Structures are given as C-alpha cells and as structure tokens.
Amino acid sequence: MTRTPVNVTVTGAAGQIGYALLFRIASGHLLGADVPVKLRLLEIPQGVKAAEGTAMELDDCAFPLLKGIDIFDDPNKGFEGANIGLLVGARPRGPGMERGDLLAANGGIFKPQGQAINAHAADDIKVLVVGNPANTNALIAQQSAPDVPAERFTAMTRLDHNRALTQLAQKTGASVEDIKRLTIWGNHSATQYPDIFHAEVAGKNAAEAVNDEAWLADTFIPTVAKRGAAIIDARGASSAASAANAAIDHVHTWVNGTAAGNWTSMGIPSDGSYGVPEGLISSFPVTCTDGTYEIVQGLEINDFSRGRIDASVKELSEERDAVRELGLI
Ligand SMILES: NC(=O)c1ccc[n+]([C@@H]2O[C@H](COP(=O)([O-])OP(=O)(O)OC[C@H]3O[C@@H](n4cnc5c(N)ncnc54)[C@H](O)[C@@H]3O)[C@@H](O)[C@H]2O)c1
Ligand SMILES: O=C(O)C[C@H](O)C(=O)O
C-alpha cells in the first residue's frame, strides 16, 4: 500500500540547524524508514535563496522517501496541511540585547507562526520548538493557536538529555545505551536540572554508581547546563548538528514511542505535576506511546533536586510574565 506523505514544515530552513536537519528528515530518520515525507521550508525573504540551494542539494540526494519540497516566506502557506512543525528559526540574541528584547523579537516570530498553525495545519499537527528561548517561544506559539490541543506544542530539551547521557556514560565508563531514566527538568537554559537520582547505569542506581555529590553539583550539572555556551565558545557558532540530531530524536520518540522501562525528556505544558505551575512549558520525564506522551508520575524528589527544579521553574514563570506584559500571550 502506498502511504500518504507526511508534511513536515521546517522554519529557519536555511540556517545551520536546518542544513543539518533536512537531509536526515528526508532520509527517514525523523519518522521511520518506511514513511514518505514532503518538506515545507519556511524562511524569511532574505533566507529563501539559500533555502532554494539546500532544496537543490536535497534533490541531488535522490532520497526515495522525499516526495516534494516547497519553499515559503509566508507562515500561512508554510504551515498549510503540516502534520509536523519544526520551529527552528528564531532571532538570536544580539550585542546589548536584554532578555526582554529577545522575548519581544521572538514574539514577533512565534505569535504569527502559532496563528498560522491554528488556521492552516493538519488536525494531527505536532510542534517542536527548537528556536530559543525554546520553552517560552513554544508557549507563545501555543497560546496563539487556541484550536490546537495545547499538548501538541513542545520544546526541545532532548539535546540536554543527550548531553547528560554522554557525561554520565563517560564518568561511569558505561555506554550510553546502558543508561536509562535520566531526566532534564525545567527550562532549556543554564537553570535546567539534569537529574540522575532516578537514572540507572547498567541496572544500578546512577547516583549510587557515581557516589560523588561534588562531581554532580560542581561538574555534571554545570557541564550539561552550560554546554551550549561551551560549544559557541569552541566552535564560534552554536551547536547545529547535535541540535538537529536531538530534534530528530525528540520527534522520532514522540511518534514511535519510548522503549519499555525507559523514558525521555521533553519540554511540555505542565499539568501541575511535581509542583510545576499548570501551563508552563517545562521539561519533564515522559514516556511516549502511539504518538502521545505522559509525564512519569510518582518519582520521589529529594531536597537537592527540589531546589534546582524550583529555580528553573521560577525562571520559566518570569519568562511567562514577561511575554504576558508584552501582550504576546
Ligand atoms: N533547544 C535547543 O536545544 C537548541 C539548540 C541549539 C540551538 N537552538 C536555537 O535554534 C535556533 C536556530 O539556530 P541556528 O543555528 O540554525 O540559527 P541560524 O541563525 O543559523 O538560522 C536561523 C534561520 O532562521 C531564519 N529565520 C529567522 N526568522 C524566521 C522566521 N520568522 N521564519 C522563518 N525563518 C526564520 C533565518 O533566516 C535563518 O536562516 C536559535 O534560536 C538557537 O539558539 C536551540
Ligand atoms: O544557542 C544557544 O544559546 C545554545 C543552544 O541552545 C544549545 O543548547 O546549544
């Protein structure tokens, strides 16, 4: 039976993450090796020519699963019929820009995109926001799309999750596939909290396997939380291939499910679990089944974790208040 192609809209398609992402979507890594896709690339007018160049290269790969590429500079057209929306394009922080300026500039992007999703996307649309500040940009888009179920808007913390997996594997000498049930809580920012207290390394509790609270507090958490800045410092540009890889992982897991006995981290609208105010888009431990996700319940949160989760959630609340004041939500 011939499957109907899945429409995947990618914003910021001509950017560096876009360049690392599109080829993997087209080769079947986003949704599966048997799922045909149509790409809808959304750029600002100045980015369209470069997106056309990328589209030429995509053509030149002759990907069997790639059933079409269209390029737009109008979100209303870009999101028409979209089943998956990868919101990558965002306004980077410029010199002298305060957080409020950044939130305002991004509001100008994510509000119209949310409205376009509301009006034109397919009924089953799933949205992943990558562009920073990802959690609050996701909130702006979600609040601008009142007819779309709120839980379809998610923000990316999978890169943080993957970073934490490798740091823990390197510390314990395990391989990444031996590590299960790691969690990123909170915001995709330096306040995020990578939690290993419920994680397992080769079947053993990770915190016990590490048995080194100083390493946890002074090395592991800051290394994961500040990895984005360290990459910028080393590379002279923000992480792109690893961010694209995490976006692929996030959507693939959401659509195809988590493995039995394991979970992942996603920025999702809070239902009030773990004391995170309802509605904030915060990272939680989640399991995914049949295209839906559920927050892992019943985890005991110790004092070490509680303070760190609360600090990151406080930052999210402040970002929400700031975009409220700007009239963006
Ligand atoms: N959540 C995460 O883990 C994570 C990780 C890495 C990077 N990021 C963020 O992802 C974003 C993109 O990073 P990049 O390196 O690809 O940046 P980039 O500057 O290389 O590319 C961004 C692209 O977005 C386009 N764009 C800007 N406004 C747009 C709009 N309104 N509609 C469509 N396209 C638009 C630009 O023209 C540009 O081509 C940044 O905000 C970055 O901070 C997030
Ligand atoms: O763009 C950044 O500030 C960093 C990015 O979010 C990352 O985590 O690599």
User: Residue 55, Cβ neighbours under 10 Å: how many?
Assistant: 18
* Residue 14 in marked binding region: yes
Global confidence as pTM: 0.98
Quick check: CB of 190 below 6 Å from ligand 2? no
Residue 112 corresponds to which tokens in the numbers above?
């119209």
Residue nearest to atom 6 of ligand 2 (CA): 228
Q: Tell me how far apart the alpha carbons of residues 297 and 310 are, in angstroms, rounded to a whole number.
A: 17
pLDDT tens, 243-257? 999 999 999 999 999
Mean of per-residue pLDDT scores for the chain: 96
**Ligand 1 centroid, distance to 203 Cα (angstroms):** 38
For residues 261-265, average pLDDT = 98
**Ligand 1 centroid, distance to 18 Cα (angstroms):** 8
Residue nearest to atom 9 of ligand 2 (CA): 228
Tell me what ipTM this predicted complex has.
0.98
Residue nearest to atom 8 of ligand 2 (CA): 228
CB contact at 8 A, 142 and 114: yes
For residues 3-17, average pLDDT = 97
Ligand 1 atom nearest to 238, measured from its CA: 15
Quick check: CB of 159 below 6 Å from ligand 1? yes
Name every residue whose Cβ is closer than 8 Å to that of residue 305 and which is 6 or more positions away in sequence: 185, 193, 195, 197
Quick check: CB of 239 below 6 Å from ligand 2? yes
* Residue 162 in marked binding region: no
Q: Tell me how far apart the alpha carbons of residues 64 and 41 are, in angstroms, rounded to a whole number.
A: 19
